[in-house]
Amino acid sequence: MKLLRFGPLGSEKPGLLDADGKIRDLSGVVGDIADEVLSDSQLQALRQIDPASLPLVEDSPRIGACVGQVGKFVCIGLNYADHAAEAGMDLPQEPVVFFKATSAICGPDDEIEIPRTSVKSDWEVELGVVIGKHTKYVSVEDALSHVAGYCVVNDLSERDFQIHRSGQWVKGKSCDTFGPIGPWLVTRDEVPNPQDMAMYLEVNGHRYQDGSTRTMHFDVATVISHLSQFMSLQPGDVISTGTPPGVGMGQRPEVYLKPGDYMELGVEGLGVQKQKVVASD
């Protein structure tokens, strides 16, 4: 099942993608793709609905982030062996954890703003994991049962802010529009193996990232279990699980985003994001 949110920023409605790729309005059934709607029981109830019985959404509305009311946006750094090699850094002994501000979240096709004073705005295609139920001290064996679904994330990063402006990585990760999520939340029953998903990212038609979740250092279940030892995870929390090689910082010479650039990125089975880059107001 592919769930989504559509409509103007801040006023998105819940929707479902039918077998023909058309959006069906779920607002008469649930208030949002968030909170308890992400539980196993409520997702199962949504599966029982005949999509044809739901109102068809005409035209091509804006697509918002595929999950609402996100409490935590947790990210994992240096989690692909080939990306760590590209960065010239050793693989960590346990997951590197940082946060993005939830104010960075935007829709998958919204414009990406280059922040003022930015000199090194970069891209990162990632597999996103959306938690479906309260998760605390979960084992690796049980961790995936706590997942509501998966999505595409572009973990945009301002490398100068991240590396040279002191403090944690959060400064370079949290700029407005630096967290596109979606287009769809694909429920976990449609993702039999999150460790075998191709992923790519292109800038202006040039493919920079062409990888797979197979090269993750810590797999999704390990990441969820690890995080749950330090904090409880709640329905709607988003975990961005790391990126394969091909980021701008890894190019020789380095390549960074500028206004007028165009990105396209996707993860196998989870849809595609398309973004124009603009200067921040």
Q: Confirm whether 123 is domain-assigned.
A: yes
**Section 16-20 average pLDDT:** 96
Domain match, 148 and 256 both: yes
What CATH number is given to the structural domain containing 152? 3.90.850.10
Nearest of 257, 267, 241 to residue 185 by alpha carbon: 267
Q: Are residues 47 and 85 in the same domain?
A: no
pLDDT score for 148: 98
Q: Is residue 197 part of a domain?
A: yes
Average pLDDT for 55-64: 95
62 occurs within a structural domain: no
Residues 49 and 87 in one domain: no
Q: Is the same domain home to 235 and 98? A: yes
User: What proportion of the chain, given as a percentage, has pLDDT over 90?
Assistant: 90
Is the same domain home to 45 and 147?
A: no
- Give the confidence band of 90 by pLDDT, cuts at 50, 70, 90: confident
Q: pLDDT band for position 169 (50/70/90)?
A: confident
Average pLDDT of span 259-279: 98
**46 and 81 fall within a common domain:** no
Work out the pLDDT band at 22, boundaries 50, 70, 90.
very high
21 and 134, same structural domain? no
Is residue 124 assigned to a domain?
yes
Query: How far is it, in rounded angstroms, from Cα 32 to Cα 4?
Result: 9
Residues 77 and 45 placed together within one structural domain of the fold? no
Q: What is the pLDDT of residue 82?
A: 76
- pLDDT, residue 87, reads 72
pLDDT greater than 80 at residue 89:
no
Q: What is the pLDDT of residues 115-132, one digit of tens each?
A: 999 999 999 999 999 999
Q: Is residue 67 part of a domain?
A: no
Give the domain extent around 18.
2-53
Q: Which two tokens stand for residue 213?
A: 């979740």
Residue 63 placed within a domain: no
> According to the model, what pLDDT value does residue 123 have?
97
Shared domain check, 80 and 42 = no
| Whether the predicted pLDDT of 225 surpasses 80 | yes
Q: Report the predicted TM-score, pTM, of the whole model to 2 decimal places.
A: 0.96
> Does residue 153 sit in the same domain as residue 241?
yes
Are the C-beta atoms of residues 32 and 68 closer than 8 Å to each other?
A: yes
State the total domains in the chain: 2
Q: In terms of domains, do 127 and 14 share one?
A: no
189 assigned to some structural domain: yes
| 213, part of any domain | yes
Shared domain check, 144 and 8: no
**113-146: b (≥16 Cβ within 10 Å) or e:** bbbeebebbbbbbbbbbbbbbebeebeeeebbeb
Average confidence (pLDDT) over 215-232: 97
Q: For residue 55, name the pLDDT band (cuts at 50, 70, 90).
A: very high
CB 257 within 8 A of CB 121: yes
Can you tell me the distance from the alpha carbon of 226 to that of 86, in angstroms, rounded to the nearest whole number?
25
Whether pLDDT at 18 is above 90: yes
